[in-house]
Amino acid sequence: MENRIGAILRAGVIVSALLVICGGIMYLSRYGTVGPAFAHFKGEPERLKDIYGIIRSALSLHPRGIIQLGLLCLIATPIMRVIFSLGMYAKHKDSLYVVITSIVLCLLLYSLIFVR
């Protein structure tokens, strides 16, 4: 079980790092010579404030969308670990750990979806 969890965590970190690096290279190749405009503050674009907008932006090959998708993958990595652990505990019929892991999963999903 530990080896599989380690593989899930490694894969998640590698995928997210590759996405962030690719997005960063694209961003710097397009906007690397443009100086910052300190006189005007621009917040995060609306399209990058929710999961679906980030996915659409990344699929459209916008560099910031790809970077954000990499960060989402990094956030999703421990959630996938908890889901995998839940499945393994259920397979082994360990009801105490199924309950505890379910609570942890619910808290993670709640904080991801509803807390802004």
The dihedral built from the CA positions of residue 35, 33, 43 and 67, taken in this order, carries a sign that is negative
How many domains is the chain partitioned into structurally? 1
Q: Whole domain around residue 60: which residue ranges?
A: 2-113
For residue range 29-48, list pLDDT tens digits in order: 998 888 877 788 877 888 88
For residue range 44-62, list pLDDT tens digits in order: 888 888 889 999 999 999 9
Q: Which pLDDT does position 33 carry in this prediction?
A: 86
Q: Which pLDDT does position 2 carry in this prediction?
A: 84
9-23: string of b/e by CB count within 10 Å (b at 16+)? Answer: eeebeebbeebbebb
Q: Which pLDDT does position 18 carry in this prediction?
A: 97
Give the whole-angstrom CA distance, residue 4 versus residue 24.
30
Could you give the maximum distance between any two Cα atoms of the chain, in Å? 60
> What pTM does this model have?
0.81
